[in-house]
Structure 1
Amino acid sequence: MINRSGLTTEEIQKRVDDYISQYKEGYFSPLSLMARLTEEVGELAREVNHYHGEKPKKVTEEANTIEDELGDIIFVITCIANSLQIDLSDSFNRSMTKFETRDKDRWTKK
């Protein structure tokens, strides 16, 4: 997939931090952010079900997209990472290394 915006994870984290930092309230607590993430994942599930499942969207429902919901999830995950001072690039690299070693022979290669 092409990164059309050209943003690195570091730039994403800074952009979110710049946005949140302009408000006195700052980041919500990790528990509140987890609840928000759960809410956003539910909204993604609803959109996937509308477009790829058996439950079509009602004509009265908003025209949200899977892309919009994924963006919301990225925002909330970034808030969690920033509030806990976690570098998302490091997290992603550790996770990919785990998958590339643990699951390297799990699937049929092309």
Structure 2
Amino acid sequence: MDISEMQLEVDRWIRQFAEGYWQPSSMTLRLMEEVGELAREVNHLYGEKPKKPEEPETDLELELGDILFIILCFANAQGLDLNRSFTRVMQKYYERDSHRWTRLNP
């Protein structure tokens, strides 16, 4: 599934509810909440903070999926095309960072 299809699927799911998309501030806060959950898991797996025995195991893939869902919602609510966004940001990286790091195959 490409990102346009993801945006359409999320839109179809959201539009079945009268409440529709959340306000931008609510989506931003939800995104921060989800990023915090990802950060907590990364800290448990790779950082200095071990997970408590009573804490459930989680799934990094699912945490990233939650973040993607909110980003898709935010883009849809704002009428943004994430394919276009991705193309634009990659162009920025190609121009700005092409000589920033050591290439594996110069």
- Assess same fold via TM > 0.5: yes
Correspondence for 1:13 among 2, 7, 17: 7
Tell me the distance in 2 between the aligned counterparts of 1:63 and 1:85: 36
The TM-score normalised by the length of structure 1 is: 0.92
Q: Secondary structure at the match of 2:56?
A: coil
Number of aligned residue pairs: give it: 104
Shift of 1:62: 1.9
Indicate the RMSD between aligned Cα atoms, in angstroms: 0.7
The TM-score normalised by the length of structure 2 is: 0.95
Shift of 1:57: 1.2
- Unaligned runs of at least 5 residues, structure 1: 1-6
Q: Which residue in the other structure is 1:46 paired with?
A: 40
Correspondence for 2:18 among 24, 47, 53: 24
Identity of aligned residues (%): 53
Q: Secondary structure at the match of 2:63?
A: helix
Q: Secondary structure at the match of 1:27?
A: coil
Shift of 1:59: 1.7
- Unaligned runs of at least 5 residues, structure 2: none
Counterpart check, 1:95 vs 2:89? yes
Q: Which residue in the other structure is 1:3 paired with?
A: none
Shift of 1:109: 0.7
User: 1:46-85 alignment to 2 at 5 Å?
Assistant: 46-85=40-79
Q: Where in structure 1 do 4 or more consecutive aligned residues deviate above 4 Å?
A: none
